[in-house]
Chains A and B, each alone.
Chain A
Amino acid sequence: MANGGTGSKVVKWVDSRLPIFSFVDHALREYPTPKNLSYWWNFGSLAGVVLVVMIVTGIVLAMHYTPHTTMAFDSVERIMRDVNYGWLIRYIHMNGASMFFIVVYIHIFRGMYYGSYKNPRELLWWLGVIIYLLMMATAFMGYVLPWGQMSFWGATVITKLFSAIPWVGEAITQWLWGGFSVSNPTLNRFFSLHYLLPFAIVGVVVFHLWALHTTKSNNPLGIDPRGPQDTIPFHPYYTVKDNFGLGVFFIIWAAFVFFAPDFFGEPDNYIPANPLQTPPHIVPEWYFLPFYAILRAIPSKLFGVIGLIGSVGILFFVPWLDTSRIRSTSYRPIYKWFFWLFVVNCLVLGYLGAQAPEGWYLFFGRVCTIYYFGFFLVIMPLLGFIERPKKLPGSITQSVLGPGSHPAEAPPPVAREPVREGAV
């Protein structure tokens, strides 16, 4: 299909010199995808779309924004008031950050539930974690740019965490600031990096997709496709399904943009930054709250920071911490409970992160922190040995059509898989 199915001579001419049409054809049309993907598999493409929207709106915002402590707040307000449709661009971007994290969190939890990090997809998972880290850095610096009270004090609290590093912490913090406090040089470099990092994310996304198209998509059964009867071409089946998901997602996003644009924001960030006045209650954006709760649950600054870094860094080790060979949690009767408890635990941590760390809030912050790490370090490794998984279906087709079905072609046996029902 060297002409992308168009039969055009021009396409053929180009393709024989630079096979770009063949490439797109392979990657977006032919790409053999398991035929049983559920709607949980929509969130990867949604994240990609949000990334593009964020870059486009961000570039327009940067045309009107001034990264200077005396002008940043007013320049954002000018965008809201005087730039044509500036309010729209800014609210899309502002709520887009929250949408991006919602989508990516669901994407990550889906990957965890269906064991999408397991052999052979470890690097795919790693690249995802790197994207997530870059996203956090980008979002954090973006939140500083409007230079409101929460921008300033959030930046102060987070950058001061580096001062917990023994010996060199103070020096590193001042190097990050470009001064002796969060000030104009800090704002300038954050703007510069906030513009740069999304393109770094695009780069890692390319590798993420490359790895995906090499190992192919996982699926809700967690078993490998056993032949062509188990897969369907990406286009039109998943392009149309992704587009439907996109429509629903855009409706939710637009509802916030047009009817509740400040829903995810803090009122304090509409007060211009004032280094002499600390707000009574400094909270990061909602998507950092679980980690913020972990940071504050640990009663030592240094170990708090280690806990904070560890809570994200531990994701890199998940492919080896999980000792079970069954990918899909649907076939793991005990792990299933711990997994959902982990999801609830993350939500509770998020709630606690928004409260003052005292009394019961602090107590439960500690309980949840222990479960967070216990889930990865104790439950994941041990359950793989203890648990008796349910029987897996023989193949994707069999699972879709019922056990009595006979696939048209006899599928060649694939990979080393645990015992399956109906397998020889």
Chain B
Amino acid sequence: MMSTLRTVTAFLIALSIPSLALAEEAGNGHGPVIEAQEWSFAPPFGHYDKAQLQRGYRVYKEICANCHSMRLLSYRNLGEPGGPGFSPEAVETLAAQAQITDGPNDKGEMFQRPGRPSDRFRSPYPNDQAARVANNGALPPDLSVMAKAREGGPDYIYALLTGYEQPPADMEMSKGMQYNTAFPGHQIAMPNPLVDGVIPYTDGTKPTVDNYAKDVSAFLMWAAEPKLEERYKVGARIMIFLLVFAVIMYLSKRAVWARLHRRDHAHEA
């Protein structure tokens, strides 16, 4: 019995100590703590804010797209339901702003043409090597599913974009690296991309870094989860159906088993 007690004590300690250890070393594979933001698309009834996604697309196009690809998205997605909701004409225009390499034509040559809604978002570099050469050896990651590919998702992207600071005095920075509070290891190759007022907003939203970061994070969330609104809507209906199903089954179970209980009591008497 004594040994049982000791084992139990050991396990209680086992349960409490790792959490202490975790608080001490923020490391152990996990990055810095990311603060959660309020998003319009939070489950279970949330939806994307169309105006916010349109602003976010603007920030993405003017700033992010200079270095980051988004190869899984097509221009047509910008006009699809549950997204930024650009009109078909706007989508045509946005697509046509990009020069797309197509071909080969019947002379066997590649050629440039204006983009069409069916084209994928144009990548800024022809390949990863070209991207690295242009960016000091660092590869700007593709942003298509970025909002799902990092712990914290859009919260993390927002924290990263607003997390540029002067490095602490005792920290030695590698050449060409910036200090960032959200980035794991705090040294990021991407220079601070956002400055207040760099992109004019036309809908009355204040053109601040905070708003840019929020809008582009929401846009990237939509890019990663374009079916989120549909998912919530279908989900709500399915939940109602399943709840009704479960209740009916519960009542059926009660009714069917009541027969049995009656029979048992008959036997008893």
B264: which of A255, A260, A401 is its contact (CB, 8 Å)?
A401
A367: which of B14, B43, B239, B267 is its contact (CB, 8 Å)?
B14
In the bound complex, do residue A237 and residue B43 qualify as a contact, i.e. CB atoms below 8 Å apart?
A: no
Interface SS, B side: helix
Binds B, one of A18-26, A61-69, A355-363: A355-363
**A201 → chain B closest CB, angstroms:** 26
B150: which of A240, A244, A267, A361 is its contact (CB, 8 Å)?
A267
- In the complex where A81-B227, A254-B235, A267-B148 touch, is A259 in contact with B11 (Cβ < 8 A)? no
A326 part of interface (Cβ distance < 8 Å) = no
Residue of B whose beta carbon sits closest to that of A149: B149
Cβ proximity bits B15-42 to A, threshold 8 Å, 1 near / 0 not: 1011001000000111000000000000
For window 205-243 of B, CB contacts with A under 8 Å fall at: 224, 226-227, 230-232, 234-236, 238-239, 242-243
What CA separation (Å) do A361 and B141 show in the bound complex?
33
**B226 contacts which chain A residues (CB < 8 A)?**
81
Cβ proximity bits A322-358 to B, threshold 8 Å, 1 near / 0 not: 0000000000000001100100110010011001100
B133 part of interface (Cβ distance < 8 Å) = no
B-side residues, CB < 8 A to A, are: 4, 7-8, 10-11, 14-15, 17-18, 21, 28-30, 43-44, 72, 77, 141, 144-145, 148-151, 153, 184, 224, 226-227, 230-232, 234-236, 238-239, 242-243, 245-247, 249-250, 252-253, 256-257, 260, 264, 267-268
In the bound complex, do residue B148 and residue A400 qualify as a contact, i.e. CB atoms below 8 Å apart?
A: no
In the bound complex, do residue A240 and residue B249 qualify as a contact, i.e. CB atoms below 8 Å apart?
A: yes
In the bound complex, do residue B145 and residue A337 qualify as a contact, i.e. CB atoms below 8 Å apart?
A: no
In the bound complex, do residue A254 and residue B242 qualify as a contact, i.e. CB atoms below 8 Å apart?
A: yes
In the bound complex, do residue A356 and residue B268 qualify as a contact, i.e. CB atoms below 8 Å apart?
A: no
In the bound complex, do residue B7 and residue A364 qualify as a contact, i.e. CB atoms below 8 Å apart?
A: no
In the bound complex, do residue A337 and residue B44 qualify as a contact, i.e. CB atoms below 8 Å apart?
A: no
What CA separation (Å) do A23 and B224 show in the bound complex?
50
Binds B, one of A7-15, A50-58, A172-180, A245-253: A245-253
Residue of A whose beta carbon sits closest to that of B243: A251
Cβ proximity bits A79-96 to B, threshold 8 Å, 1 near / 0 not: 011000001100100000
**B210 → chain A closest CB, angstroms:** 24
A-side residues, CB < 8 A to B, are: 35, 74, 77, 80-81, 87-88, 91, 229, 232, 236-237, 240-241, 243-244, 246-248, 250-251, 254-255, 257-262, 267-268, 270-271, 280-281, 337-338, 341, 344-345, 348, 351-352, 355-356, 359-361, 364, 367-368, 371, 397, 400-401, 405-408
Contacts A261-B231, A281-B29 known; list 13 others, CB within 8 Å.
Answer: A80-B227, A91-B231, A240-B256, A247-B250, A250-B242, A258-B231, A280-B29, A361-B21, A367-B11, A371-B7, A401-B267, A401-B268, A405-B268
**B238 contacts which chain A residues (CB < 8 A)?**
254, 258
- In the complex where A259-B43, A408-B267 touch, is A341 in contact with B7 (Cβ < 8 A)? yes
Residue of B whose beta carbon sits closest to that of A247: B246
**B28 contacts which chain A residues (CB < 8 A)?**
355-356
What CA separation (Å) do A3 and B231 show in the bound complex?
45
**A258 contacts which chain B residues (CB < 8 A)?**
43-44, 231-232, 234-236, 238-239
B17: which of A257, A268, A364 is its contact (CB, 8 Å)?
A364
Residue of A whose beta carbon sits closest to that of B144: A77
**A336 → chain B closest CB, angstroms:** 12
Give 5 pairs: A residue, B residue, CB < 8 Å, sorted on A.
A74-B72, A251-B239, A258-B234, A267-B150, A344-B11
Residue of A whose beta carbon sits closest to that of B246: A247
A87: which of B29, B184, B227, B264 is its contact (CB, 8 Å)?
B227
**B235 contacts which chain A residues (CB < 8 A)?**
254, 257-259
Residue of B whose beta carbon sits closest to that of A255: B239
A232: which of B144, B260, B267 is its contact (CB, 8 Å)?
B260
**A157 → chain B closest CB, angstroms:** 14
In the bound complex, do residue B249 and residue A243 qualify as a contact, i.e. CB atoms below 8 Å apart?
A: yes
Residue of B whose beta carbon sits closest to that of A351: B18
A368: which of B14, B44, B77, B243 is its contact (CB, 8 Å)?
B14
**A251 contacts which chain B residues (CB < 8 A)?**
239, 242-243, 246
What CA separation (Å) do A243 and B251 show in the bound complex?
11
**A105 → chain B closest CB, angstroms:** 19
**B7 contacts which chain A residues (CB < 8 A)?**
341, 371
In the bound complex, do residue B44 and residue A259 qualify as a contact, i.e. CB atoms below 8 Å apart?
A: yes
**A270 contacts which chain B residues (CB < 8 A)?**
145, 148-149, 224
**A364 contacts which chain B residues (CB < 8 A)?**
14, 17-18
Residue of B whose beta carbon sits closest to that of A408: B267
In the bound complex, do residue B149 and residue A348 qualify as a contact, i.e. CB atoms below 8 Å apart?
A: no
B246: which of A87, A236, A240, A244 is its contact (CB, 8 Å)?
A244
Residue of B whose beta carbon sits closest to that of A253: B242
In the bound complex, do residue B249 and residue A77 qualify as a contact, i.e. CB atoms below 8 Å apart?
A: no
Residue of B whose beta carbon sits closest to that of A235: B256
**B39 → chain A closest CB, angstroms:** 14
**B267 contacts which chain A residues (CB < 8 A)?**
229, 401, 405, 407-408
**A177 → chain B closest CB, angstroms:** 25
- In the complex where A267-B150, A345-B11, A355-B18 touch, is A240 in contact with B72 (Cβ < 8 A)? no
**B239 contacts which chain A residues (CB < 8 A)?**
251, 254-255, 258
**A257 contacts which chain B residues (CB < 8 A)?**
235
**A186 → chain B closest CB, angstroms:** 23
Closest CB pairs A-B (n = 9): A258-B235, A247-B246, A281-B29, A270-B149, A244-B249, A259-B43, A364-B14, A270-B148, A87-B227
Instruction: Name the residue among B14, B227, B230 with the largest chain A CB count within 10 angstroms.
Output: B14
What CA separation (Å) do A368 and B11 show in the bound complex?
8
In the bound complex, do residue B29 and residue A356 qualify as a contact, i.e. CB atoms below 8 Å apart?
A: yes
**A271 contacts which chain B residues (CB < 8 A)?**
141, 149
Residue of B whose beta carbon sits closest to that of A268: B149
